[in-house]
């Protein structure tokens, strides 16, 4: 198979690392060669963060470059827009419909673009969810990222059981159940 | 055992140390090297691992362990190598007893650093061999090979990684730990006492050693010529090798695992077999300049930059002349890193900003005090430089000039090298105000303990060194501790202290908002009907606060940590600190 390229983008602190580790886990379990690339350190402090996941029979570089991504998982609207040009022509966006103002917007130096997801949908196939609201309904606002992952999982070739197993293996044991529930909201919802 | 595990490059380095039988590891945290030591902890039955106060100390701890006869490692980021370079340059002369490896993590692209220096340049000057892995599996394998080299050639060995390798994950095949017998220590002043008469002789040894390594490097498996299409041949190492394989899978590649000293004969042979020789190395033209000096024609920095990270797309454009099909990037507002909600540094910077004070800054999260809306930090050089730079300004321009300046440094950075700078201020009769922002951790790198936190890397609870008493013991009369969220007292204290003709220290305390185990009993809540839309609460730039379309303020309860700074800034009682309801 051709190497598949996935990107997870969001704002530092939104849990991109956990999401990419679940993705990496399921690909290893399925016998693929996998490489992931993460951001640590200063950029994590509320900045724009990006994680790359690549899998296939043979993977050389650990990053996804511009014009190469098959799936862009975005935890925030502006970040979806920022990285959309990393997608291939037929690439898919899975977006969390949430707005987090970056500092230049807070201070009034810049404006937050209007109707981001609508505009992106003119050029890209896009699936969206208000995961934060659904996570709050579930009783834990922090698992919104797993809801988004569930929605993205619909567009990958792994079984429900594989996903639930790898979630159980990756997240802290106390949070297995809520994370699995969150996943199913995205996956089956 | 042939278990395959997906591992971060840094985790694989720690695993390599474990499998190689390392017994002592010392480090100071620094992105992108930190996870090496964090992963050492899982092997604590077999490896003693510590956070040292700085990289010089860490290197010396590892050198001592090596001299005593066991395998030892120290790890640090590239700029940490500068701090450790004093012991490193001389350890090159003494050589080792047990194998000695220094891991240096470079940061091309400046993800979390103050410069883009290339450790290979340091290694050339120190005359120490360098291995550079290109994925997680090699990271583990090369560490093990480094110990064999170290003991065979009587030399410290540097493992060089980059951010992209340290922070990438890939599959690694696990193996058992080998338990090399401890070597006996034998008194040998000619080798370990580097006084001039002995060092003169060791320098002869060092030169011979590097020549032998360069020769033997031609036979090492980690230096590998891959012959494919002969029209183009690349010389590459580390992550750059992966970009070559990605973009030009048909091209010949000389993959260098040992990047210093260079295997000259192997390179000459490779160069003779390809029509066009291209050197593809991130940062400095270290390979290129040496290869050119041998009279071999090649291409390198005239094609590729010395700055930042490389990529496969760069090769597609420059070598293959293909313009990859990429849509235009949208023009969007930047999202720079910011201080977290509830960060105890925010109040300090807010006060400095309000009092129009200049701040000589240091290395840590508080560097973010340099950017809008706080705009307070005016210098950032290196670990510990805030205090010494302030002292230099005072000596240059006098006591009065310094009255609207302060130095700002974190607790971990103060323990690293700031303490020396403070001693200097006292000794040389400086004046000036030093703010030590004590958030009880090394914040930026992801919460590591240090000598003033009361806990070790391996989790032992130990007496914390008191920063207050440390300052007092230097004879500093004015040392004040203030809670970071007591805004009025903090402002009053800063005003009083900057006016003094003396060294004064203000220790601003409150734990990092992200520190594990913290409980936030409160949340801030906006009361729209009382809001006068003045924006005072927004000025310190807390990301939990946003201005709604009608001008009133909204507080995101999920983000808010209830520090109450915004409530203290609101003159109209439009923000309340309430007990957080349990979800």
Domain end marker among B481, B509, B537? B509
Sheet of B168-173: strand order equals: A125-129, A87-96, A69-74, A4-11, A48-56, A33-37, B168-173, B4-8
Interface of B with A in 306-365 (CB under 8 A): 311-313, 324-330, 332-340, 365
Q: Where are any strands of DSSP class E within B95-163?
A: 100-106, 130-131, 157-162
CA B90 to mean position of chain CA atoms: 23
Q: What are the tokens at B29?
A: 């945290």
Last residue of a domain, one of B219, B243, B262: B219
Give the residue carrying structure tokens 């590892």: B62
pLDDT tens digits for chain B (583 residues)? 578 899 999 999 999 999 999 999 999 999 999 999 999 999 999 999 999 999 999 999 999 999 999 999 999 999 999 999 999 999 999 999 999 999 999 999 999 999 999 999 999 999 999 999 999 999 999 999 999 999 999 999 999 999 999 999 999 999 999 999 889 999 999 999 999 999 999 999 999 999 999 999 999 999 999 999 999 999 999 999 999 999 999 999 999 999 999 999 999 999 999 999 999 999 999 999 999 999 999 999 999 999 999 999 999 999 999 987 889 999 999 999 899 999 999 999 999 999 999 999 999 999 999 999 999 999 999 999 999 999 999 999 999 999 999 999 999 999 999 999 999 999 999 999 999 999 999 999 999 999 999 999 999 999 999 999 999 999 999 999 999 999 999 999 999 999 999 999 999 999 999 898 888 899 999 999 999 999 999 999 998 998 888 999 999 887 899 999 999 999 999 999 999 864 3
Region of A11 on the Ramachandran plot (φ > 0 left; ψ -120 to 50 alpha; else beta): beta
Give me the residue from B167, B365, B538 closest to A45, CB to CB.
B365
- The whole-angstrom separation of Cα B69 and Cα B49 is 17
Full-model pTM = 0.96
Three-state DSSP class for residue B136: helix
Q: Report yes or no: B31 at the A interface, CB cutoff 8 Å.
A: yes
> Is A60 close to B242, i.e. CB distance below 8 A?
yes
Using CA atoms, how far apart are residues A101 and B441, in angstroms rounded to an integer? 28
A129: β partners = A96
Residue ending a domain, choose from B484, B509, B534: B509
Query: Order of strands across the sheet with B432-438?
Result: B377-379, B358-360, B405-410, B432-438, B503-509, B478-483
Q: How many helices and strands, by DSSP H and E, does chain B display?
A: 20, 23
Please judge whether A101 and B170 are an interchain contact, meaning their C-beta atoms are less than 8 angstroms apart. Answer: no
Which residues in chain B touch residue A132, judged by CB atoms under 8 angstroms apart?
A: 558
Q: What angle do CA B155, B160, B161 make, to 5 degrees?
A: 155
CB pairs A-B closer than 8 Å: 179
User: ipTM greater than 0.90, yes or no?
Assistant: yes
Are residues B34 and B182 both part of a single domain? yes
Exposure string of A61-70, with b = 16+ CB inside 10 Å and e = fewer, is bbbbbbbbbb
- As given in the structure block, the two tokens for residue B290 are 């040496």
Chain B contact probe: residue of A103, A107, A114 with most B CBs at under 10 A: A103
Do B452 and B568 lie in a common domain?
Answer: no
B312: nearest Cα among A128, A35, A155, A14: A35
Which class for B343: exposed (0-12), middle (13-18), buried (19 or more C-beta within 10 A)?
buried
Positive or negative CA dihedral for A102, A103, A106, A112? negative
Q: How many Å apart are CA B170 and CA A62, to the nearest integer?
A: 8
Residues B529 and B496 in one domain: no
Helix A160-170 vs helix A176-188: angle between axes, to the nearest 10 degrees?
150
- Is B377 found in the same domain as B262? no
**B32 is a domain residue:** yes
CA proximity to B51, closest of B63, B61, B64, B43 = B61
CA atoms within 13 A on the CB side of B366: 37
CATH of the domain at B250: 3.40.50.920
Is position B335 within any domain? no
CA–CA min distance B342, chain A (Å): 12
Both B34 and B173 in one domain: the answer is yes
Tokens of B359: 């701040």
B68 and B199 belong to one structural domain: yes
In this structure, what DSSP letter does residue B448 have?
B
Please name the residue of chain B whose CA is at the shortest distance from the CA of residue A32: B171
- Residue B16 belongs to some domain of the structure: yes
| Statement to judge: residues B501 and B565 lie in one domain | no
By C-alpha distance, which of B187, B122, B152, B174 is closest to B12?
Answer: B174
Does residue B332 fall inside a structural domain? Answer: no
Are residues B105 and B21 both part of a single domain? yes
> Is B325 within the bounds of a domain?
no
Kindly determine whether residue B168 and residue A66, on different chains, have CB atoms separated by under 8 Å. no
CATH number (domain holding residue B415): 3.40.50.970
CA distance A24 to chain B (A): 8
Residue of A66, A102, A111 lying closest to B326 (CB–CB) = A66
Q: Distances in Å between the alpha carbon of B402 and those of B277, B354, B384, B418, B499? A: 56, 17, 18, 19, 9
Whether A103 and B239 lie within 8 Å, measured CB to CB: no
Residues of A in contact with B171 (CB under 8 A): 28, 33-34
Which CATH number fits the domain that encloses residue A78?
3.40.920.10
Radius of gyration from C-alpha coordinates of chain A? 16
Note whether residue B373 is domain-resident. Answer: yes
Structural tokens at position B77: 């980021």
User: Per the structure block, which two tokens stand in for B243?
Assistant: 């970009």
The answer to whether residue B534 is domain-embedded is yes
Q: Do B31 and A84 touch (CB under 8 A)?
A: no
Residue B49 contacts by C-beta under 8 Å, 6 or more apart in sequence? B24, B25, B26, B27, B37, B40, B41, B43, B457, B458
Residues B407 and B547 in one domain: no
Residue A157 is part of which domain span?
4-188
Residue with tokens 């006492």: B193
Please tell me the total number of residues recorded for chain A in this structure.
189
| Counted domains in chain B | 4
Statement to judge: residues B176 and B265 lie in one domain: no
Residue B385 lies in a domain: yes
Q: Which of A41, A102, A114 to mutate against chain B (most B CBs within 10 Å)?
A: A41
Provide the residue range defining the domain that includes B207: 4-219
Torsion of CA B560, B564, B568, B574, to 10 degrees: 50
Q: Are B516 and B350 in contact (CB under 8 A)?
A: no
Distance between CA atoms of B154 and B95, rounded to whole angstroms? Answer: 5
Same domain for B127 and B247, yes or no, is: no
Same domain, B434 and B483: yes
Closest chain A residue to B373, measured at CA = A107
The answer to whether B93 and B194 are in contact (CB under 8 A) is yes
**In total, how many domains does chain A have?**
1
The most distant pair of C-alpha atoms in chain B lies apart, rounded to whole Å, by: 82
């Amino acid at each position: 198979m051709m190497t598949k390229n996935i990107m997870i983008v969001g704002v530092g602190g939104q849990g991109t690392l956990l999401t990419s580790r679940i993705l990496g886990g399921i690909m290893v379990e399925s016998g693929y060669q996998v490489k992931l690339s993460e951001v640590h350190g200063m950029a994590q402090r509320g900045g724009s963060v990006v994680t790359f996941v690549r899998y296939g029979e043979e993977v050389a570089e650990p990053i996804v470059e511009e014009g190469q991504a098959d799936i862009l998982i975005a935890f925030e609207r502006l970040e979806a827009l920022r990285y959309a040009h990393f997608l291939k022509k037929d690439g898919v966006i899975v977006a969390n419909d949430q707005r987090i103002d970056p500092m230049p917007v807070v201070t009034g130096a810049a404006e937050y673009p209007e109707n981001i997801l609508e505009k992106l949908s003119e050029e890209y196939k896009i699936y969206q969810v208000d995961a934060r609201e659904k996570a709050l309904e579930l009783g834990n606002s922090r698992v919104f990222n797993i809801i988004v992952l569930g929605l993205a999982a619909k567009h990958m070739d792994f079984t429900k059981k594989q996903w639930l197993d790898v979630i159980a293996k990756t997240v802290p044991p106390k949070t297995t159940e809520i994370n699995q529930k969150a996943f199913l909201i995205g996956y089956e919802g | 055992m042939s278990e395959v595990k997906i591992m971060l490059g840094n985790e694989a380095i720690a695993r390599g140390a474990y499998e190689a039988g390392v017994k002592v590891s010392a480090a100071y945290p620094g992105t992108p090297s930190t996870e090496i030591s964090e992963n050492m902890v899982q092997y604590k039955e077999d490896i003693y691992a510590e956070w040292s106060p700085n990289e010089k100390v860490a290197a010396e701890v590892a050198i001592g362990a090596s001299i005593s006869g066991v395998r030892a490692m120290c790890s640090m980021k590239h700029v940490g190598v500068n701090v450790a370079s004093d012991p490193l340059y001389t350890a090159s002369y003494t050589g080792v007893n047990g194998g000695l490896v220094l891991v240096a993590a470079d940061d091309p692209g400046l993800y979390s650093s103050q410069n883009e220096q290339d450790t290979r340049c340091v290694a050339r000057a120190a005359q120490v061999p360098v291995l550079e892995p290109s994925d997680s599996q090699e990271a583990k394998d090369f560490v093990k090979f480094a110990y064999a080299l170290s003991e065979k050639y009587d030399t410290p060995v540097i493992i060089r990684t980059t951010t992209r390798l340290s922070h990438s994950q890939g599959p690694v095949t696990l193996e058992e730990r080998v338990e090399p017998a401890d070597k006996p220590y034998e008194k040998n002043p000619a080798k370990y006492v580097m006084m001039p008469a002995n060092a003169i002789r060791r320098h002869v040894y060092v030169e011979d050693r590097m020549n032998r390594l360069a020769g033997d490097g031609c036979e090492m498996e980690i230096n590998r010529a891959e012959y494919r299409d002969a029209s183009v041949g690349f010389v590459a190492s580390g992550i750059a090798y992966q970009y070559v394989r990605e973009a030009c899978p048909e091209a010949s590649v000389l993959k260098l695992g040992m990047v210093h000293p260079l295997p000259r004969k192997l390179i000459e042979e490779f160069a003779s077999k390809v029509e066009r020789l291209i050197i593809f190395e991130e940062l400095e033209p270290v390979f290129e300049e040496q290869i050119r000096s041998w009279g071999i024609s090649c291409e390198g920095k005239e094609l590729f930059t010395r700055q930042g990270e490389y990529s496969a797309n760069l090769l597609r454009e420059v070598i293959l002349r293909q313009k990859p099909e990429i849509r235009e990037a949208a023009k969007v507002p930047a999202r720079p890193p910011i201080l977290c909600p509830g960060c105890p540094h925010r109040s300090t910077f807010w006060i400095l900003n309000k009092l129009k004070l200049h701040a000589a800054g240091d290395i840590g999260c508080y560097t973010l005090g340099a950017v809008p809306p706080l705009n307070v930090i005016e210098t950032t050089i290196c670990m510990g430089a805030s205090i010494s730079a302030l002292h230099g300004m005072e000596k240059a321009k006098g006591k009065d000039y310094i009255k609207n300046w302060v130095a700002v440094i974190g607790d971990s950075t103060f323990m690293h090298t700031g303490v020396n700078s403070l001693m200097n201020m006292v000794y040389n009769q400086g004046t000036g105000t030093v703010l030590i922002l004590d958030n009880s951790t090394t914040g930026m790198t992801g919460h590591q303990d240090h000598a003033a936190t009361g806990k070790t890397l391996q989790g032992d609870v130990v007496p914390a060194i008191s920063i207050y008493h440390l300052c007092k013991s230097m004879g500093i009369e004015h040392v004040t501790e203030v809670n970071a969220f007591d805004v009025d007292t903090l402002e009053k204290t800063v005003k009083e202290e900057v006016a003094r003709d003396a060294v004064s220290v203000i220790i601003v305390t409150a734990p990092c908002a992200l520190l594990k185990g913290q409980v936030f009993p409160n949340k801030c809540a906006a009361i729209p009907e009382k809001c006068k839309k003045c924006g005072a609460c927004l000025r310190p730039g807390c990301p939990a606060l946003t201005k709604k379309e009608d001008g009133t303020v909204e507080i995101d309860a999920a983000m808010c940590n209830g520090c109450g700074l915004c409530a203290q800034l609101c003159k109209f009682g439009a923000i309340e600190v309430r007990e957080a309801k349990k979800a």
